[in-house]
Structure 1
Amino acid sequence: MQSPLGDDAYLRIRAQFSQARQAGQARHREIAEAMHISEGALIAAHVGAEAAALMRATRLQPRWTVLCAALHSLGEVMALTRNGACVHEKVGRYAEFTAKQTEYLQVTWMRGAGVDLLWEVAHWQHGFAVEESGEKGVQRSLQFYDASGTAVHKLFLRAQSDLSAYQSLVRAFCDTDQLPGLIPQALLTVPATDFAAFLTHWEAIQDARDLHCLLAQVRGSGHTFLQHLPAASAREVQLSAANMVLEHAAAQGLSIWILAGNIGMTQAHRGPIDKVVQMGPWLNVLDAGFNLHVRQDLIASSWVVVVPGLAGHFSALVLFNAAGEIIALIAADASSGASERSAWVALMHRLPLVEPIRSDHHATL
């Protein structure tokens, strides 16, 4: 597991990280990018670091399913899942999980108290227990990365978390390999999905989780496939739609789903939102127990999607980046009552459209 870099290289990475922290840089991802390494490589460089180091990491055994089954013992934590344009943070408790399998989907599904996750551990490659010293004391977390060193999922301990359970979990899953570094590997190949297969999967969608997971699994083809659906099923709206929807949902007290993630993890918020704030390019929801951060400048297209669903048709706003990968999905909470569902449908119809360019040659896809 150790990278071919020498010990001096890891010492330099640790020193540069400390300098960046002292300069006020807060996000590991941005610090790693400035150093031209992956975030996972930044964390792995701190495996075996001395006790006095600013950050220390312990490599975990890749027994992801067993490890995840033990996360409920930690009590209240903050779960964080992100992609390049969106960060989704949710406070709550993990729970026992169940496997979910359909014709096109094999994932693990976990609904805890406030933490709602749909993960596919086949894309998980590296895991670490991380301790970082700061002004408020030691911040402890568990962090998981794909083969390239890109973050898949993280959880951070809070004051209410069970520290002894965390320490027991780290001891139980500590890997015998505690050398620093990681060797980037090729990402797991995802079989290409053609339009006909997409339509089959589309008909099997039961709820907003399934829709998000399908659009994440088809990688950069999701927005292309939507272009070839009938206008009643998918219509492109202007890039201001995300801001409009979140502000309206907050003002009207609508209970909604907000899902975001990556190919290895989908994280959901379910309920009303309150505080919607714009800060530079970031569109934020800053609520107690739930934070969302979306880079508006990285939204390349926005779509209102209407899906058959298990309990009848539901509509969602789906955001894509320039590569056609899903950034986030916002939908109504179907369990909240007919009045809110009606308000949501009306909101979807008020969103300003982008003039569509459609093709009738479905067979060519």
Structure 2
Amino acid sequence: MANLEYLKAKTTEYAIILSRINKELQALAHKKAEHQWLINYLQDQLKDAQISHKRLKSIVNKNTGQQNLLNKAVTQIHLLEYSIYSINYNYLPALQKENSADLALRELLLSSAKRLSMFWVKDIIICSDEPLAIIPSPPEYPIIFSPPQQAISLLEIPGLYHELGHDVFQKFEEIDKQLYRTVSSHFNKLSSELGRLNPESKDRQKQKIKEALEYWNTERLNEIFCDIFGTFTCGIAHYISCIDMGIRFKEKPYDVDFRDEHPPLYARVYACYQTLTPTQRKEKITIIAKNSWNDYTNNNHKSSDFNLICAEPLLKSIVKIAILTIQELLPDCQRYETPLIDDSEIEKIPDNILLEDILNQAAKLLLNYPERYEDWETKIFKALKFSS
């Protein structure tokens, strides 16, 4: 357990850190009016940390080495760290680096979140210097990482809707429960249908089924839910984006890696495809993307582990329940079913910009008329304020 000298040192150190955070938040409150909700939240977190620091200081000042008081002091240190960690390592760096393109994308995503009935989201910070990712805790104030401006691609940006899915998953524990029930029911049924096997073979099969069920933990259910949510809310563009990610990063489509929180990419792409409406599946760009994916995956081998863990009937059940759960928990969430823009208007820059529309227009233009894409992208980036 920590000794008194160490605790005195930490008390002094935290006083300095809390003072710095306080000054930075006060400065940001004047410079970042658009983030007032978030800054108020961070100031509340800081107050919690200051209370813990006051208690720590009181314990240390009256401590003569009693073990029970030392234990209480360490508890206050843990509470302090809990209160300031996300401020120091996540929110302040993101706010300090935020640029005009980040703010433009933030506005688009806040509008999307509103259309998707994500009523709890009060603010979003965009941090454009990382591959796509999200910190969804707390879900009211997610930090979304996007590629740097020079690397931004309208084929990759649909992945933002996958990231919004993480925020939804974080908000509603029921999603995890519903999906786990679906997976559990599937594998329990398999186990009960093993039929006539000798005891040793049956035990071996039951163990494999048990491991397959354990594979679908919360992290992997989270990921495949987000693939479904992304396609549900952004349509064909998200499906194509998922395929593009797999091909350009040389993913092994059938690789079952128990160390990776992501399910095999083939399962993820399959779930996206199953989420598309029948009309969306018939679109030319969907067929182009699907054929490209089939060509890419045909040279790969499905293992017995993959066939068990990612069986198509299971994936279809997951998609079905995920969609029903979205519709139940977010009854006003708008499924993206807008018809693709007509070829005669394919290079049009709309007056009222909806990010989902732009991303689907970009996918159609790039796949059908690549020679006309560059000029249009330059214009749309200016309209989106992604560039000057």
Q: Fold conserved (TM > 0.5)? A: no
Q: Which has the higher contact order (CA 8 A, sep 6+)?
A: 1
- Specify the TM-score bucket, using the shorter chain as the normaliser: under 0.3
Q: If you compute each CA radius of gyration, which structure gives the higher value, 1 or 2?
A: 2
From the two aligned structures, give the one with the greater helix fraction: 2
From the two aligned structures, give the one with the greater strand fraction: 1
TM-score when normalising by structure 2:
0.23
TM-score when normalising by structure 1:
0.24
